[in-house]
Amino acid sequence: MPPMPTPEQDRELRRRQLDLSIDYRLGRDFPQERRAALWEIQQRVEKKRLRLALWHLLRRLAPGRLAGAANGLAGYLVDEYAKVLSKPELKRHFDLPEGTRPALPIDIDRLK
């Protein structure tokens, strides 16, 4: 990738990353139509992620609120993927222990 990729280059890279993740965790024979559904979800989540970053910059949230919002975004991603993936596929894709909600690795001390 060039130092300043175009939006199209960035989108293509993210799509390839998703496909590699699916290949590794769910198998290379995972159906194309379901891959496309996961990509659409990924696009919606990316828009929410960008809004979260902007919201943080504009409001200068307390670190704890940012962590909660980020982890809410992680939960949203899993909930959306659950509309496409079966429970066993979801577990393989996210490698989550049974009964565990997803969380993003946020270092609260570094945010302060």
In a domain, 47, yes or no: yes
In a domain, 32, yes or no: no
Number of independent structural domains in the chain: 1
In a domain, 9, yes or no: no
**Among 54-58, 60-64, 83-87, 101-105, the range of highest mean pLDDT:** 83-87
Average pLDDT, integer, range 72-98: 84
Q: Which of 102, 28, 106, 35 is nearest to 72 (CA)?
A: 102
In a domain, 107, yes or no: yes
Does residue 53 surpass a pLDDT of 70? no
What is the model's pTM?
0.64
CA distance 65 to 20: 32
What domain range is 52 assigned to? 37-111
In a domain, 8, yes or no: no
